[in-house]
């Protein structure tokens, strides 16, 4: 998995809830994301799908970047968003599509 620098929101939250960020970095990204049962790519697919389904757009941006870094393709993300629209709801799919557009544009993928 590519090590990306902590997003600005993580640094902002660190000022308010430093223990939460410590747990994020040591338990979530230091343990859960590195367990051998799933590849980082598969974890990214699962995480992005969950965030789209739950409408967690602030976290979705960073995890779409992580997914691309972990080898998930633009085409796979597109198919996931379309598929999720039928299971998580049309607004969730549309919101996911808009956030993906922002991330793809920033990466020069459009």
Domain ranges of the chain: 1-35, 38-110
**What's the pLDDT band for 2 if we cut at 50, 70, 90?**
very low
CB contact at 8 A, 107 and 69:
no
The tokens of 44 are what?
């990214």
38-110: CATH, from 2.30.30.40, 1.20.1290.10, 1.10.30.50, 3.20.20.60:
1.20.1290.10
What tens digit of pLDDT does each residue of 16-66 get? 999 999 999 999 999 999 999 999 999 999 999 999 999 999 899 999 999
Closest CA to 74 of 50, 51, 43, 106: 106
Residue 7 has pLDDT above 90, yes or no: no
The tokens of 58 are what?
């602030």
Closest CA to 77 of 59, 58, 63: 63
Q: What is the pTM of this model?
A: 0.88
Closest CA to 95 of 43, 44, 45, 58: 58
What tens digit of pLDDT does each residue of 80-104 get? 999 999 999 999 999 999 999 999 9
The tokens of 70 are what?
């972990």
């Amino acid at each position: 998995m590519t090590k990306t620098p902590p997003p600005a929101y993580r640094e902002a939250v660190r000022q308010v809830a430093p223990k939460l960020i410590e747990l994020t970095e040591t338990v979530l990204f230091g343990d859960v994301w590195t367990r051998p049962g799933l590849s980082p790519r598969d974890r990214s697919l699962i995480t992005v799908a969950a965030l789209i389904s739950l409408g967690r757009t602030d976290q979705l941006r960073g995890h779409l970047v992580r997914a691309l870094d972990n080898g998930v393709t633009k085409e796979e993300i597109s198919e996931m968003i379309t598929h999720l629209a039928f299971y998580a709801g049309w607004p969730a799919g549309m919101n996911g599509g808009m956030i993906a557009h922002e991330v793809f544009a920033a990466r020069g993928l459009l």
